[in-house]
C-alpha cells in the first residue's frame, strides 16, 4: 500500500480506497480480517486514529464488520447492497449541491442544466 503524505486525498481516504479496491477485486476475501489497527499504523508510519478512521469508513459502507476485541472482518460483497450504498452517497452529494444552489439563488432549471453540462464534460 502506498500512502502519499502530500496528496489532496486525506490519508484515511487513501487507506480506505486501497482496501476497498482489494476487497472488490477479490484480493481480500469474505471472512478475512483486516490487519490490526495499531499494527497497520506502525507499518505505514501513521497515527492510530487515522487508521481507525479508514476502518470506520469501510464499516459504514458495509464492507467490513467490527468485532469487539478481534478486529474488522470482511463482509460478503452483495452487488445490490453496494449499489444502494452508492446511490445513498449520490443523494447526499446532490442534497449538498441543492443547499449551495439555494444560497447562490440558482433556479431549479439552472441547477439541472449544470448537472447535465457536467455529465457531458465527464463523458468527453
Partner 1 sequence: METQAVISCINIEKKYKNFKLKVDKVDFPKGFATALIGENGAGKTTLLELIAGLRLDHEGEISYFGKYSEKDREEDPVVKNSIGYTGTGNYFMPGWNLKQTKEVQELLFDGFDGDKYDEILKELAFSADNKTDANKKVNSLSDGNKTKLMLAGVLSRNTDLLLMDEPASALDPLMREKLCEIIREYLAEAEGEKSVIFSTHNIADMENVTDYAVIVENGEIAEQGFVEDLKEKYTYVKGDKKDEELGKKYMYDMTTNNYGFEGLCLSDDLDKLAGADIITETPTLTQLSVGIMRANTRLKLA
HSE toward the beta carbon, residue 105, CA cutoff 13 A: 0
> For partner 1, which stretch binds (CB under 8 A), given 23-31, 47-55, 84-92, 111-119?
47-55
**Rounded to the nearest whole angstrom, what is the least distance from the CB of residue 40 to partner 1 in the complex?**
9
Q: Tell whether residue 116 is a contact of partner 1 (CB under 8 A).
A: no
HSE toward the beta carbon, residue 56, CA cutoff 13 A: 7
Q: Are 72 and 33 in contact (CB under 8 A)?
A: yes
**Rounded to the nearest whole angstrom, what is the least distance from the CB of residue 62 to partner 1 in the complex?**
18
Long-range contacts of 4-13 (CB under 8 A, 24+ apart): 11/46, 11/50, 11/54, 12/50, 12/51, 12/53, 12/54, 12/57, 13/54, 13/57
Of 21, 29, 38, 89, the one binding partner 1 (CB under 8 A) is: 38
Q: Cell numbers at residue 23, please? A: 476487497
Task: Please state, in angstroms and rounded to a whole number, the distance separating the CA atoms of residues 106 and 103.
Answer: 8
**Rounded to the nearest whole angstrom, what is the least distance from the CB of residue 95 to partner 1 in the complex?**
15
Of 49, 67, 93, 115, the one binding partner 1 (CB under 8 A) is: 49
Of 23, 37, 63, 74, the one binding partner 1 (CB under 8 A) is: 37
Which residues in the 51-70 window bind partner 1 by CB under 8 A? 52-53, 56
Site for partner 1, rule CB under 8 A: 10, 12, 36-39, 41-42, 45-50, 52-53, 56, 71, 103-104
Amino acid at each position: 500500500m502506498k500512502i502519499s503524505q502530500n496528496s489532496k486525498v486525506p490519508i484515511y481516504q487513501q487507506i480506505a480506497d486501497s482496501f476497498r479496491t482489494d476487497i472488490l477485486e477479490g484480493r481480500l476475501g469474505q471472512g478475512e480480517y483486516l490487519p490490526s489497527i495499531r499494527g497497520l499504523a506502525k507499518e505505514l508510519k501513521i497515527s492510530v486514529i487515522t487508521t481507525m478512521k479508514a476502518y470506520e469508513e469501510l464499516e459504514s459502507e458495509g464492507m467490513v464488520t467490527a468485532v469487539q476485541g478481534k478486529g474488522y472482518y470482511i463482509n460478503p460483497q452483495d452487488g445490490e447492497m453496494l449499489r444502494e450504498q452508492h446511490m445513498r452517497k449520490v443523494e447526499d452529494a446532490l442534497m449538498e449541491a441543492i443547499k449551495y444552489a439555494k444560497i447562490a439563488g440558482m433556479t431549479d432549471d439552472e441547477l439541472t442544466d449544470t448537472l447535465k453540462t457536467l455529465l457531458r464534460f465527464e463523458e468527453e
